[in-house]
A and B are shown apart, each in its own frame.
Chain A
Amino acid sequence: MSQVDTVGRAATTPDEEQPWAELGLKDDEYARIRDILGRRPTTAELAMYSVMWSEHCSYKSSKVHLRQFGDLPKSEALLVGIGENAGVVDVGDGYAVTFKVESHNHPSYVEPYQGAATGVGGIVRDILTMGARPVAVMDSLRFGRADAPDTARVLPGVVAGVGGYGNCLGLPNIGGEVLFDDCYAGNPLVNALCVGVMKHEDVRLAKAEGVGNKVILFGARTGGDGIGGVSVLASETFDAEGPAKRPSVQVGDPFTEKLLIEACLEIFAQDLVTGIQDLGGAGLSCATSELASAGTGGMHIDLDAVPLRDSTLTPAEILMSESQERMCAIVEPAKVDAFLAVCRKWDVLATVIGEVTDGDRLTVDWHGERIVDVPPRTVAHEGPVYERPMRRPADLDALQADDPAALPRPQTPEELTAHWLAVVASPDGADKSWVTEQYDRYVRGNTVLAQPDDAGVVRIDEQTHRGIALSLDGNGRYARLDPYTGAQLNLAEAYRNVAVSGARPLAVTNCLNFGSPEEPEVMWQFAEAVRGLADACRDLGLPVTGGNVSLYNQTGDVAINPTPVIGVLGVHDDVRRRVPTGWRAAGETVLLLGETRPEFGGSAWASVVHGHLGGRPPAIDLGAERTLGELLAALAHQDLVTSAHDLADGGLAQALAESALRHGVGARLGVGDDPFTALFSESTARVVVTTTDAAAVRRAAGQAGVSVTELGTTGGEVLTVEGLLELPLAELRAAWSTTLPALFGAPEDAVGTVPAGTVPSS
């Protein structure tokens, strides 16, 4: 069809066949578009509606559940809540922090390096859009079995991509997760978090206001890459052969993004914008309709003005293109010159492509003809909403009944040692340096703690020493056994990780990775996880500031384990009092805070030693978590502990090994008369601390009502459990640190993981 499909033409050719099904729309959705417009949509309009009404952009299956987060009691710390690009939290001294986690799962499966890289790029732009300077990133990753061939393809590329993009932007990577499970084969998860800092008065919002104000598109040129990419990919189930459509992937250009960041910050400092929005999934369709929808008037765009990389693109393709590193700003006419000057200084291409109009229509012209004329709210915010059917998984009762209590336990000290080494050497438990050494943790010079510490801690003010702490956690085994409790356990772990650093937890973000919402059992898992998370946030008094939903993570009819990845942000009044994770000195007392019960459901021990997943996850006690968190903050404040490490996957065995290996300091310990439970139970609300003043810690814990168990004393080059076993640190380190290099370490494994184009590396 060479003729441009104009609004006028659409009105006179109502019966023309349109490819709505190929674009992912259902017949009733297509009918609704016709209803809204009172005619058939033009080709360009159809493109816009189809991407914006995709699951990825419209949240049509998840919306009814996510409302629970908005209904949480109002938090005083929350300056901007859900609904904007990212929520904003008050962290004191006039500073505000914005943070959010987002998935790039499907693109990373298709093209690991670029998928992961552009995932980082996208979340950084979301943070920038709020008016903040991005200051750090984190990444939560899931892959199939560590020794599966496809993991060898996907993991090195994903890691290189996360590192390649983040390093080149100058953002320290301060933490994350790398976990493996068969359920992620063909459905790797790549969740990236970015955190940014600004002053309260610098908060910017995504809305188009002020008739006559100009719409400026700036950043990279628009190309044919990723047309329908993210939105279509992320809204589709892969079959065994991979994605049915292999749309061209987007290629990231972190250099352009770095310039975009610096240009934006200068633009904000000079107060040159009234509204701003990044271009992510659904590109211009999304940015223009969202800006217009959130604003007061309408908007007109002249599509001929959009700078193109490929002159053969059709108008629909320009509207759908997901070319990276682009932003859209609303600028008063008097400030346009100054805006363009800043962009010139930073070599950023900027073009006026339209303006804010009277009325309430979003109109787009192409070659002088009207090709789009729609009410923007119907595109951006009033898409379809589904109450999808839900059903408790048929296998859940059997799964929960399959209690790991029945599994054979280690009987001898030798078996106990072997199980300990097996957990520590398992791909989930092993040293992650092979991954994290590919990330720059030092850039900007404000990283106070980073991986392998429990939380990342960043200084935000060099004078006052104010700082923030962050952790991301998402155990999918617990959530498989019980999505309600599993989501809560992930929140509790992230909360505890932030608390052990000495910070006060303040706010929550999340990325909900699930299978297909069209499967009632998956939908039930999703609803349970959201309900669990909302209930737990209410109990802990924390707001959810935003997040992201990734559905259709399944191969054929097998879904991934439900994987709600939860991020918690905390604040440090003085980062000099932060508490690190590892043991540094000999002669300190090792104390266990919290109570241990025999809880092995979903545990690392059951999984690693027996390949078992069953029973119930550990019990959650949010009151205990809160008390423990407050105690940890008080201990840090009084400088009473020299290290603190939370107990999670792998229980005490894992925590002791990591604490000892951090600086090569051993310990002589006693763990009581049920060493198996002591070492491998995953009871929650527990932390190991070291101190030079055990009496004071006991006193403080006693007042708080937290139970204390003295384990022993640090020192030497052996981890000794009295009367039971001795683990020389050299042996422990060999078990812990060789797993990932053996799987992924050789240079030839890097071959093919990084494509020809963009390979920044210095």
Chain B
Amino acid sequence: MRIGVITFPGSLDDVDAARAVRLAGAEPVALWHADHDLKDVDAIVLPGGFSYGDYLRAGAIAARAPLMQEVMDRARAGMPVLGICNGFQVLCEAGLLPGALTRNSHLHFRNRDQALRIERADTAWTASYAPGERIVVPVKNGEGRYVAADADLDRLEGEGRVAVRYVEGNPNGSMRDIAGVSSENGRVVGLMPHPEHAVEDLTGPSTDGLGFFTSVLKAVVSA
């Protein structure tokens, strides 16, 4: 199985995402923002970082990269896409996921080990977890406060599209403690915390993050 990891100018956690893909048992494939070539991958990860320096708004400039046209077409056709942190911001800016990520309520960049609850274990990226499972992975962002209009949030909740929620403390002031959301069909998922930093005992606070990357293996096989 081939999982693409896109590098935009300023992507930082692309090496980490590729490592997580490898540890999950798939083949990471490097994708370049300026190309139009998805290299026959089966799924795509948009990694964390500061694409274009986070200038203007986090993810805003990367969302308009040439390769994103391809990503949007394939995502709409059902290809699993995961956006982590900056990748989540890019997906929201590109309109693939609802809502927006804004400056943290405390106005600081914050990096800590964060407890999360898997709200939906039926998306392409969370199927390895049990519904309601508590996991701990790092969170690190300065613009991670998830916002949307109340009516939109009600709709998302109603449709079961809040995939991951912060528990035991909200690190950035996200509305309704939302850490990650999915597309209607559950194939596109975005979240601010970093599962790719929790895949090895040696370097992470846990190995709880690996489930995101093993989930997609099943999703692709069953698709």
Known: A437-B110, A438-B108, A761-B103. A168 touches B197 (CB 8 A): no
B197 and A255: CB pair below 8 A? Answer: no
B140 and A440: CB pair below 8 A? Answer: yes
Chain B, residue nearest A254 (CB): B53
Q: Tell me which residues across on chain B come within 8 A of A442, comparing CB atoms.
A: 16, 111, 138, 140, 194, 197, 203-204
Whether a CB of chain A sits under 8 angstroms from the CB of B208 is no
Report the Cα distance A762→B53, complex, angstroms: 9
Report the Cα distance A346→B10, complex, angstroms: 10
Whether a CB of chain B sits under 8 angstroms from the CB of A313 is no
A762 and B141: CB pair below 8 A? Answer: yes
Whether a CB of chain A sits under 8 angstroms from the CB of B79 is no
A760 and B50: CB pair below 8 A? Answer: yes
Whether a CB of chain A sits under 8 angstroms from the CB of B105 is yes
- How many chain-B residues does the 8 Å CB contact rule pick out? 44
Report the Cα distance A444→B19, complex, angstroms: 10
> Within the complex, which residue of B15, B49, B141 is in contact with A445, where a contact is CB–CB below 8 Å?
B15
Known: A167-B50, A254-B53, A762-B59. A443 touches B142 (CB 8 A): no
Report the Cα distance A436→B140, complex, angstroms: 11
Give B200-215 as 1s and 0s: 1 = Cβ < 8 Å from A's Cβ atoms: 1011100000000000
Whether a CB of chain A sits under 8 angstroms from the CB of B13 is yes
Known: A438-B109, A443-B16, A750-B108. A448 touches B203 (CB 8 A): yes
Report the Cα distance A444→B203, complex, angstroms: 10
Chain B, residue nearest A345 (CB): B34
CB contact list, B89-104 vs A, under 8 A: 89, 101, 103-104
A445 and B52: CB pair below 8 A? Answer: no
CB contact list, A578-632 vs B, under 8 A: none
Give B45-73 as 1s and 0s: 1 = Cβ < 8 Å from A's Cβ atoms: 00011101111001100000000000000
Known: A440-B140, A444-B15. A255 touches B52 (CB 8 A): yes
Report the Cα distance A180→B99, complex, angstroms: 43
Report the Cα distance A254→B9, complex, angstroms: 12
Whether a CB of chain B sits under 8 angstroms from the CB of A439 is yes
CB contact list, B1-33 vs A, under 8 A: 9-10, 12-13, 15-16, 19
B50 and A762: CB pair below 8 A? Answer: yes
A747 and B203: CB pair below 8 A? Answer: no
Whether a CB of chain A sits under 8 angstroms from the CB of B76 is no
Report the Cα distance A595→B143, complex, angstroms: 49
Q: Tell me which residues across on chain B come within 8 A of A167, comparing CB atoms.
A: 50, 109, 140, 142
B85 and A762: CB pair below 8 A? Answer: yes
Report the Cα distance A255→B10, complex, angstroms: 6
Known: A761-B58, A762-B144. A254 touches B50 (CB 8 A): yes
Whether a CB of chain A sits under 8 angstroms from the CB of B218 is no
Whether a CB of chain A sits under 8 angstroms from the CB of B36 is no
Whether a CB of chain A sits under 8 angstroms from the CB of B86 is yes
Report the Cα distance A750→B59, complex, angstroms: 23
Known: A168-B54, A747-B105, A761-B143. A255 touches B9 (CB 8 A): yes
- Smallest beta-carbon distance A757→chain B, Å: 9
- How many chain-A residues does the 8 Å CB contact rule pick out? 41
Report the Cα distance A68→B103, complex, angstroms: 50
Chain A, residue nearest B107 (CB): A750
Q: Tell me which residues across on chain B come within 8 A of A759, comparing CB atoms.
A: 54
B202 and A576: CB pair below 8 A? Answer: yes
Whether a CB of chain A sits under 8 angstroms from the CB of B196 is yes
B141 and A439: CB pair below 8 A? Answer: no
Whether a CB of chain A sits under 8 angstroms from the CB of B106 is yes
Report the Cα distance A63→B39, complex, angstroms: 57
CB contact list, A669-686 vs B, under 8 A: none
Known: A442-B140, A747-B105, A760-B53. A437 touches B203 (CB 8 A): no
Known: A167-B50, A445-B196. A575 touches B143 (CB 8 A): no
Whether a CB of chain B sits under 8 angstroms from the CB of A259 is yes
Chain A, residue nearest B205 (CB): A442
Known: A576-B202, A762-B86. A439 touches B53 (CB 8 A): no
Known: A255-B53, A760-B50, A762-B142. A437 touches B111 (CB 8 A): yes
Whether a CB of chain A sits under 8 angstroms from the CB of B155 is no
Q: Tell me which residues across on chain B come within 8 A of A163, comparing CB atoms.
A: 109
- Smallest beta-carbon distance B15→chain A, Å: 6
Whether a CB of chain B sits under 8 angstroms from the CB of A258 is yes
Report the Cα distance A243→B110, complex, angstroms: 33
Report the Cα distance A254→B53, complex, angstroms: 7
Chain B, residue nearest A253 (CB): B53
B50 and A160: CB pair below 8 A? Answer: no
B143 and A762: CB pair below 8 A? Answer: yes
Whether a CB of chain A sits under 8 angstroms from the CB of B176 is no
Whether a CB of chain B sits under 8 angstroms from the CB of A758 is yes
Known: A259-B9, A445-B16, A762-B58. A747 touches B106 (CB 8 A): yes
A445 and B203: CB pair below 8 A? Answer: yes
Whether a CB of chain B sits under 8 angstroms from the CB of A541 is no
Chain A, residue nearest B198 (CB): A442
Q: Tell me which residues across on chain B come within 8 A of A750, comparing CB atoms.
A: 106-108
Q: Tell me which residues across on chain B come within 8 A of A760, comparing CB atoms.
A: 50, 53-55, 142
Whether a CB of chain B sits under 8 angstroms from the CB of A447 is yes
- Smallest beta-carbon distance A667→chain B, Å: 23
Q: Tell me which residues across on chain B come within 8 A of A255, comparing CB atoms.
A: 9-10, 50, 52-55
CB contact list, A729-762 vs B, under 8 A: 747, 750-751, 758-762
Whether a CB of chain B sits under 8 angstroms from the CB of A459 is yes
> Within the complex, which residue of A346, A575, A758 is in contact with B202, where a contact is CB–CB below 8 Å?
A575
> Within the complex, which residue of B12, B104, B200 is in contact with A170, where a contact is CB–CB below 8 Å?
B12
- Smallest beta-carbon distance A313→chain B, Å: 25
Q: Tell me which residues across on chain B come within 8 A of A761, comparing CB atoms.
A: 54, 58, 103-104, 109, 141-143
- Smallest beta-carbon distance B10→chain A, Å: 5
Give A435-462 as 1s and 0s: 1 = Cβ < 8 Å from B's Cβ atoms: 0111111111111100000000001001
A164 and B9: CB pair below 8 A? Answer: no
Whether a CB of chain B sits under 8 angstroms from the CB of A310 is no
CB contact list, A213-267 vs B, under 8 A: 253-256, 258-259
Chain B, residue nearest A760 (CB): B54
A447 and B49: CB pair below 8 A? Answer: no
Give A158-184 as 1s and 0s: 1 = Cβ < 8 Å from B's Cβ atoms: 001001100111100000000000000
Give B164-206 as 1s and 0s: 1 = Cβ < 8 Å from A's Cβ atoms: 0000000000000000000000000000001011011011100
B107 and A440: CB pair below 8 A? Answer: no
Chain A, residue nearest B196 (CB): A445
Interface centre among A437, A445, A760 (most CB of B within 10 A): A445
- Smallest beta-carbon distance B103→chain A, Å: 7
Chain B, residue nearest A156 (CB): B108
Report the Cα distance A168→B86, complex, angstroms: 11
Interface centre among B15, B49, B58, B89 (most CB of A within 10 A): B49
Q: Tell me which residues across on chain B come within 8 A of A397, comparing CB atoms.
A: none
Report the Cα distance A438→B15, complex, angstroms: 22
- Smallest beta-carbon distance A582→chain B, Å: 13
A258 and B10: CB pair below 8 A? Answer: yes
Report the Cα distance A168→B85, complex, angstroms: 13
Q: Tell me which residues across on chain B come within 8 A of A758, comparing CB atoms.
A: 53, 55
Whether a CB of chain B sits under 8 angstroms from the CB of A414 is no
Whether a CB of chain B sits under 8 angstroms from the CB of A358 is no
Chain A, residue nearest B113 (CB): A442
Q: Tell me which residues across on chain A come within 8 A of B109, comparing CB atoms.
A: 160, 163-164, 167, 437-440, 761
- Smallest beta-carbon distance A117→chain B, Å: 12
Chain A, residue nearest B110 (CB): A437
Known: A438-B111, A758-B53, A762-B86. A447 touches B106 (CB 8 A): no
A443 and B112: CB pair below 8 A? Answer: no
Whether a CB of chain B sits under 8 angstroms from the CB of A382 is no
10 A-B interface contacts by CB (under 8 A): A169-B12, A170-B50, A255-B52, A442-B140, A444-B12, A447-B203, A762-B59, A762-B85, A762-B89, A762-B144
Nearest 3 interchain pairs by C-beta:
A255-B53, A761-B142, A170-B12
Contacts A433-B112, A758-B55, A762-B144 known; list 15 others, CB within 8 Å.
A167-B142, A170-B50, A253-B53, A258-B10, A259-B9, A347-B9, A437-B111, A439-B111, A440-B140, A442-B111, A442-B140, A445-B19, A747-B107, A762-B48, A762-B49
